[in-house]
Amino acid sequence: MDTISENRSFGGIQGVYRHHSDSCGCPMTFGLYLPPQAATAPVPMLWYLSGLTCTHENAMVKAAAQQHAARAGIALVFPDTSPRGEDVADDKDYDLGQGAGFYVNATQAPWAPHFRMWDYVAEELPRLLDNAFMIDPDRQAITGHSMGGHGALTLAMNLPGRFASVSAFAPIAHPTQSDWGRKQLGAYLGDDESAWAAHDATLLMRESGFGGPVLVDQGNEDQFLDLLKPEALAEAMAARRQPGQFRMQKGYDHSYFFVSTFMGDHVAFHADALGLA
Amino acid sequence: MDTISENRSFGGIQGVYRHHSDSCGCPMTFGLYLPPQAATAPVPMLWYLSGLTCTHENAMVKAAAQQHAARAGIALVFPDTSPRGEDVADDKDYDLGQGAGFYVNATQAPWAPHFRMWDYVAEELPRLLDNAFMIDPDRQAITGHSMGGHGALTLAMNLPGRFASVSAFAPIAHPTQSDWGRKQLGAYLGDDESAWAAHDATLLMRESGFGGPVLVDQGNEDQFLDLLKPEALAEAMAARRQPGQFRMQKGYDHSYFFVSTFMGDHVAFHADALGLA
């Protein structure tokens, strides 16, 4: 594993690292913020999964999360959103291929050889982090934005016991019924829609829900509301009596100005679920 | 004036606006954060001047300043760092020309026609903001990073009574004695070094100091320490008995991870000087 950069931030270290990924069959880059507390003991970890077009870097520089993680004593991991490289398949559209992995294991050509973001985020990267950094693998939580909110919710519900809590900022909430979903799930997983269900937060919420608390924030002036379909997830959460909160935030859009505004609430929510503070 | 974007952020509005600048003879873009308090009454304003290569956008998305401004009830203005455009002079190096205005009025060819950032920041933009937004022009403070820290300190000391307080993050502190300064002051102002003195924070501190409090933060692992020359400014501040603080921050570099870490302190410092809680 190569160290790309390390910068002091709020008393901790914001690092960027690159390693060969067996899952994705290419080099992968991720950001990791270690709070000051990691200097002396393993710390819990909050995953942040990013949205369409993002790399590991967007949230790392724009979400204003480090200050809250430093206060709570939580590490933050910022994975990339897809495999990348000249020999990795891509598409001319921003919402398919590189930068748009959708946190699934592709089974279809031309995506199957590299697009295994589910395995990467659920299995490979956690092992690597546990081996290389002062992380406590028994205390993890997960969040994400847009496509990454979809990833956070679907990972959390598919891996019971893994995460103490899950939250999302403006998640793609019902991809099997949205143009942000049908196109990508069809391309990556094929036409059999039964394979899609494990990657739809609303369907998973209806089916099983989540064993810990859930927090979802959504701006009511989000320019992508029709694609995100928050009403489907809100309905499913309430119908299941899922412990948690769905918050419709007045005046906010889909940008990182929205994410950063509520990041403090989300980190505090996860810190509480992880037994900190 | 055209509105480029407006995003809700911490209950206020982060806007980006473009207008024709008479000073610079070209369109200029700036960011303005209005806190929630500006909805009902004019608010004080904190200027943030950016460093080499930056536009209006860098600090706006990476400095994590809006949360503190919202709490204190202060507007933030993020000017660009130079005139820009195809018919504006430029240089192949990153540290001269577009993105590197150094907050002076150029007198030399080819820069003189457009590079009038001093007039733009000291005169034109304040007038425009006063006319167009809920700003209280009698309550202003100023800060900046690197070249922008140089701009903040030199504007504050050259315009007595204008700013209640001045702060800087890793400022170019003694440009008349640095390769970050001699090259640019020579290019913009000519070979007569007597014209440079008004644009050197250390010389101004020796000559007159500042009528309010001063706060300077500098990382001790800044990769540009030899160019910034903080020791000259620290010595001048102490020799003048200038009220204020010079803080050498252990482990921090020149990046926005450094700036964002201490932004809360700086906004609180200015809020106190402006008479806000």
Mean pLDDT of A30-42: 97
Closest CA to B49 of B27, B65, B25, B72: B65
Asked if B4 has any chain A CB less than 8 Å from its own CB, the reply is no
Q: Which of A222, A257, A266 to mutate to test the interface with B (most CBs of B within 10 A)?
A: A257
Is B66's CB within 8 Å of A260's CB?
yes
The confidence score (pLDDT) of residue A210 equals 97
ipTM above 0.90, yes or no: no
Asked if A218 has any chain B CB less than 8 Å from its own CB, the reply is no
* Cβ contacts of A201 within 8 Å, gap of 6 or more: A149, A150, A153, A154, A157, A168, A171, A172, A173, A174, A175, A233
**Which neighbouring-strand residues pair with B19?**
B28
The phi and psi torsions of A18 (rounded to 5 degrees) equal -130, 140
Domain that holds residue B232: 2-273
Catalytic annotation present for A146: yes
The confidence score (pLDDT) of residue A254 equals 98
- Choose the closest CB to B9 out of A10, A67, A261: A261
Residue-wise pLDDT tens digits, B155-210: 999 999 999 999 999 999 999 999 999 999 999 999 999 999 999 999 999 999 99
Residue-wise pLDDT tens digits, A156-192: 999 999 999 999 999 999 999 999 999 999 999 999 9
Mean pLDDT is lowest, of A19-23, A114-118, B113-117, B235-239, for B235-239
Asked if B219 has any chain A CB less than 8 Å from its own CB, the reply is yes
Asked if A61 has any chain B CB less than 8 Å from its own CB, the reply is yes
Mean pLDDT of A249-260: 97
Specify the 3-state DSSP secondary structure of B244.
strand
DSSP symbol at A211: S
Q: Which of B4, B9, B217, B267 to mutate to test the interface with A (most CBs of A within 10 A)?
A: B9
pLDDT tops 90 at residue A252: yes
Asked if A246 has any chain B CB less than 8 Å from its own CB, the reply is no
| CA–CA dist A112, A121 (Å, integer) | 16
The residue written with tokens 């509105």 in the block is B3
Q: Any idea what the CATH number is for the domain that residue B55 is in? A: 3.40.50.1820
**Contact between residue B237 and residue B231 where contact means Cβ atoms under 8 Å apart:** no
A9, A50, A82, A146: the active-site residue:
A146
Asked if A248 has any chain B CB less than 8 Å from its own CB, the reply is no
Is B8's CB within 8 Å of A61's CB?
no
Nearest-by-CA chain A residue for B251: A8
Residue-wise pLDDT tens digits, B88-143: 999 999 999 999 999 999 999 999 999 999 999 999 999 999 999 999 999 999 99
Residue-wise pLDDT tens digits, A89-98: 999 999 999 9
Closest CA to B82 of B137, B21, B141, B35: B21
Is B7's CB within 8 Å of A258's CB?
yes
| Residue B277's pLDDT band (cuts 50, 70, 90) | low
| CA–CA dist A78, A100 (Å, integer) | 15
> Cβ atoms within 10 A of the Cβ of A1, count?
11
The confidence score (pLDDT) of residue B199 equals 98
- Choose the closest CB to A64 out of B7, B67, B258: B67
Asked if B39 has any chain A CB less than 8 Å from its own CB, the reply is no
| Residue B80's pLDDT band (cuts 50, 70, 90) | very high
- Choose the closest CB to A14 out of B10, B219, B257: B257
| Residue A99's pLDDT band (cuts 50, 70, 90) | very high
Give the global pTM: 0.91
pLDDT tops 70 at residue A277: no
Give the full edge-to-edge strand order of the sheet including A12-21.
Answer: A2-9, A12-21, A26-34, A75-79, A43-49, A135-144, A163-169, A214-219, A244-249
- Choose the closest CB to A61 out of B10, B62, B67: B62
- Choose the closest CB to B8 out of A7, A258, A264: A258
Nearest-by-CA chain A residue for B259: A9
**Three-state secondary structure along A113-124?**
CCCEHHHHHHHH
Mean pLDDT of chain A: 97
Asked if B257 has any chain A CB less than 8 Å from its own CB, the reply is yes
| CA–CA dist A189, A178 (Å, integer) | 16
- Choose the closest CB to B251 out of A8, A61, A66: A8
Is A64's CB within 8 Å of B258's CB?
no
Mean pLDDT of A188-208: 97
Is A9's CB within 8 Å of B260's CB?
yes
Q: How far is B64 from chain A (nearest CA, A)?
A: 6
| CA–CA dist A45, A33 (Å, integer) | 9
DSSP symbol at A111: T
Contact list, A169 vs chain B (CB under 8 Å): none
Question: How many domains, chain A?
Answer: 1
Mean pLDDT of chain B: 97
Specify the 3-state DSSP secondary structure of B41.
coil
Asked if A257 has any chain B CB less than 8 Å from its own CB, the reply is yes
Q: How far is A209 from chain B (nearest CA, A)?
A: 31
Is B261's CB within 8 Å of A61's CB?
no
